[in-house]
Amino acid sequence: MSVIVRFAPSPTGRIHVGNVRTALLNYLFAKKHGGQFMLRIDDTDLERSTKEYAEGIFEDMDWLGLTHDLTANQSDRFDRYDQVVEKLKAEGLLYPCYETADELDMKRKRQRMRGQPPVYDRAALSLTDEEKAKFEAEGRKPHWRFKLSGAPAEWEDMIRGPVSIDTASVSDPVLIRGDGTYLYTLPSCVDDIDFGITHIIRGEDHVTNSGTQIEIFKAVGGKAPIFGHHPFLVGADGKGLSKRLGSLSIRQMRESGVEPMALNSYLAKIGTSDAVEPCTAMDKLVEEMDLGKISRAPARFDEAELKGLNARMLHGLTYEEVKPRLTVQGLEVSEALWAAVHENIEVLPDLKAWVNVVEGPVTPLTEDQEFASKALELLPEGEFTPETWGTWTSAVKEATGAKGKALFMPLRKALTGLDRGPSMENLLVLIGPERAKARLRGETA
């Protein structure tokens, strides 16, 4: 079997970490098996779908390195869906229903009161032509439901194992709304057949949908793909992310300076039996990809953990590896500055603060100007070297009796305006004699 998988976002908003986890699992699975990855834009909702959001999806996917082999827009395929609809209607598998949303809601409430499952009662199947005509005369437009067989739908899920959905306990799914627009289900099944999708990896909220879609695949004339349903992402507190997904958009992650491979590494490993480690090459993630490693429990997405992973990734990069991204960020950072401060950043934009520490202006944090003035007197003349800091602090210690934190902290605060940071040996060299002298005098420089 030649593996073909798909990621099918709707261009009605920015994609977020939950979307991308699904996309990444599909991408890695395809590459692991020498297959193809399809990016399908599910834009049948013409009112809410926008070109801007569609372009944003491609931009985010390119940034992550999740390159697609195939692509299509559902909005280009309405004629094909209409063709399938006529086939299903002719076979009696798609039938019109005239209940309003309020009437359906009332039916469900009555069923619950009776202790019955809120399953559609198929009342529309017994409507006469006269009754249908009467509804039409009232201005009602039918929505169309697919008639399920009532038989169990069974499959071996790649993540969940054996799954069985009793379609008799499920409402016949609505495939076409009253306004004539398509819901997700039918176009998705038709596309999966037409584009030869062999495996579908998606969230566990689609498990019941898969049971009904298996029957639709058969009715349309295709074979159901192999399914794999992964658990949801939750926050570090174990609560759902639904209210925070806007703040977890890939665009926002990119703009905040998160490294694409840090995010890929994180999303590929959380909720699995593998350790979460920074990985700089997609090939390694492909090699280690195994759906069998995914836990049935929800995966915890912890922004602090992601930042820590991002930091570890940056700390391991050489200047040559990071230099192209510095240009993208608009940062002018020398190799010497990178070497001095890179282990003190979480994201590349953090470098801006260290450029400022070196180039100024910095307002010294001087609590004891007398101490600072004495240190200024002892500051070695000439250009600084990595040995200057040790020579200078030894002289200050001997002259003032200060040692340990009482020696080093006042000097750090005076020279950088900060109470923490990288080793001062190299940082002092970058600050240079003139700025160091000015800051020790208490001047902003």
Class of domain 235-315: mainly alpha
pTM: 0.91
Alpha-carbon gap, residue 175 to 143, rounded angstroms: 8
Interior/surface letters 165-198, b for 16+ CB within 10 angstroms, e for the rest: bebeebbbbbbbebeeebbbbbbbbbbbbeebbb
Determine the pLDDT at residue 242.
Answer: 66
Fold type of domain 4-73+185-232: Rossmann fold (3.40.50)
Alpha-carbon gap, residue 307 to 350, rounded angstroms: 12
Report the DSSP beta bridge partners of residue 199: 226
Cβ atoms of residues 167 and 149 within 8 Å: yes
Closest listed residue to residue 315, CA positions, set 331, 338, 334: 338
Q: Over the stretch 168-192, which tens digit does the pLDDT of each residue have?
A: 999 999 999 999 999 999 999 999 9
Determine the pLDDT at residue 243.
Answer: 58
- 3-class DSSP assignment, residue 250: helix
Chain region(s) in the chain for CATH 1.10.1160.10: 235-315
Fold type of domain 369-440: Arc Repressor Mutant, subunit A (1.10.10)
Token digits for 295? 């836990």
Chain region(s) in the chain for CATH 3.40.50.620: 4-73+185-232
Residues in the chain where the model's pLDDT stays below 70: 242-247, 328
Chain region(s) in the chain for CATH 3.90.800.10: 80-176
Class of domain 80-176: alpha beta
Chain region(s) in the chain for CATH 1.10.10.350: 369-440
**Phi-psi region for residue 293, left (φ > 0), alpha (ψ -120 to 50) or beta?**
alpha
Q: Over the stretch 115-166, which tens digit does the pLDDT of each residue have?
A: 999 999 999 999 999 999 999 999 999 999 999 999 999 999 999 999 999 9
